[in-house]
Amino acid sequence: MDFQKFPEGYSTGMYQCKKYGISKTTFNNGKSIKLYAEELGGSDFISMNFYSTKEKELLKPCEMSKAKVVDFLIKVKLLNTMES
């Protein structure tokens, strides 16, 4: 998974014609990433953790299917992240 497209902190993106607020927090020198996206004005959300170890990389969705998380990561289009 390429998490580099998501800036650290808060950004916004479009997914399935809906706008999402996206928060990314990186821990352990980039070996752990938490990503949470919430539909603005709606009830949908995406929540996941990603861990990179010497042996493997692990994507751990929170309370949803891995397929939903992967679809979001691939299809979300980031908007201007320099919002005021």
pTM value is 0.89
Give me the pLDDT at residue 25, please: 97
Residue 53 within any structural domain of the chain? yes
Residue type at position 7:
P
Q: Could you report the per-residue pLDDT of 12-34, keeping only the tens digit for each?
A: 999 999 999 999 999 999 899 99
Domain of 42 in residue numbering reads as 9-78
CB 76 within 8 A of CB 15: yes
Element housing 75 (H / E): helix 66-75
Tally of domains in the chain? 1
- pLDDT in single tens digits along all 84 residues of the chain: 678 899 999 999 999 999 999 999 999 998 999 999 999 999 999 999 999 999 999 999 999 999 999 999 999 999 975 543
Q: Is residue 32 part of a domain?
A: yes
- C-alpha 1/C-alpha 56 separation (Å) is 12
Establish if 84 belongs to a structural domain. no
- The length of the chain in residues reads 84
